Homo-oligomer: A and B are copies of this chain.
């Protein structure tokens, strides 16, 4: 689907072939559902199901002279002509069916039913590998959080070193975003993907009073929930799916942003593993290709989510333009979020981590990053105002004279008297100033374990 890209598994499950398969599954299952409730003869339904199940019409229908296979170009031309691919699909099916089967084919449905239900099937099938990647990325983040829970690093705000953290805490933060996104996408998959069957205007008129029965039988056969009411003109379901996918791409992009920054030549705290991302003429580069892929996906998905929202207020029983903007947008959202998550999984599973470099960076400011800690220690003795004043002075001198804060602080009698050398040293040791790090990591890990051990079908 995308320019010069080998589709991820998510992409493969949401591309043209996947849509075709889902539309055929709809038509096959609809025939079965009509038979289930007595609105069609079983042999006709089975005939339709068999033709729709075939990957290749030639095999299915065996007709000599059949051109064989599905004609995707004809579907394209039909879409341009009719505004939907369904008439062209039915036209390809009919020659392979008996007259009885033709009378049953597509009965009671409208084109939008096929496309909307296919979108839901595609989404369900494509979200399986997507969620698997998301969980695996989460597992990798969890392992990093646990392994590096005590590895000291500089915490950075507005790209400035602020206060010490551990690398494990940062990884726990990534885990939180990935878990939130997975939880939301799982909820949408389990609660919001549903069959659409409404007929021309949403009242199932062509099925008389058997509409709900057919819908339930069809839902059973497609293993998609039957919704309480048709949703042809209520685009909440696709919009919620789109928003969840956008969130997924954003969570992956957040990891990508941090990895790309930490992998900077001047920072060097992590590197993407594997052989990729190198350059023959620039041997010093270790391009964070996976992180960049996730970031690119995270920049492209927001506009696509906006498109889905723009399409919500469609006209009456089927919109003129808004609905037609959805299918490909959803396909791209699946493909891009899938690409981003697969990249971040690779990135995290292979991430090389350099704790000694983290520690070295932490020492770059010669203790100034510990000023808040020293102030906190001193506050207990001298009150906050005085503590801030004294530490501020010592920090300024350290900055101006390029000397360690330890030295300039020790020279302040009031500080030295209040704390003594030992407590000054302790206050300037990053390892003493990690607050609730352990508790936060533990909670993030247990949230992840609970979510992923819940088991998904």
CB–CB B82/A276 < 8 A: yes
Q: How many copies does the complex hold?
A: 4
Residues in B with CB closer than 8 Å to A54 are: none
Contact at B251–A312, with CB atoms within 8 Å?
yes
User: What is the CA–CA distance of A410 and B1 in the complex, to the nearest angstrom?
Assistant: 49
Q: Is the CB of B247 within 8 A of A309?
A: yes
Which of A28-36, A125-133, A233-241 contacts the other chain?
A233-241
Please tell me which one of the listed residues B206, B264, B283 contacts residue A395 in the complex, with CB atoms under 8 A apart. Answer: B283
CB contact under 8 A between A162 and B303, given known A283-B392, A385-B103: no
Task: Give the interface residue-count category, chain A.
Answer: 35 or more
Give bound CA distance, A79 to B251, whole Å. 23
Tell whether, in the assembled complex, residue A205 and residue B434 are in contact, meaning their CB atoms are under 8 Å apart: yes
B258→A316 contact, CB < 8 A: yes
B399 to A161, Cβ gap below 8 A? no
CA distance A444 to B227 in the complex (A): 11
Would you call A159 and B246 a contact (CB within 8 A)?
no
Supposing A4-B72, A246-B309, A307-B300 touch, asked if A155 and B392 sit within 8 A by C-beta, the answer is no
The complex places the Cα of A321 from the Cα of B204 at a distance, in Å, of 32
- CB of A150 within 8 Å of the partner chain: no
Residue among A112, A250, A399 with most chain B CB within 10 A = A250
A158→B276 CA distance, assembly (Å): 14
Any B CB within 8 A of the CB of A2: yes
Contacts of A264 on B, CB cut-off 8 Å? 156, 159-160, 266-267
Point out the residue from B155, B295, B303, B395 that lies within 8 Å of A317, measured CB to CB: B155
Chain A 201-239 residues near chain B, CB threshold 8 A? 201-209, 211-212, 228-231, 233-237, 239
Q: Chain B contacts of A42 at CB under 8 A?
A: none
A322 at the interface (CB under 8 A from B): yes
Give the docked Cα–Cα distance between A267 and B156 (Å). 13
On whether the beta carbons of A313 and B250 are closer than 8 Å, the reply is yes
Judge whether A260 and B364 touch: CB under 8 Å: no
Stretch of A45-53, A170-178, A414-422 contacting B (4+ beta carbons < 8 Å): A170-178
The answer, yes or no, to whether A184 is at the interface (CB within 8 Å) is: yes
Q: Is the CB of A368 within 8 A of B284?
A: yes
Residues of B within 8 A of A138 (CB): none
A243-279: contact bitstring with B at CB < 8 Å (1 yes, 0 no)? Answer: 1001101110110111011011111000000001100
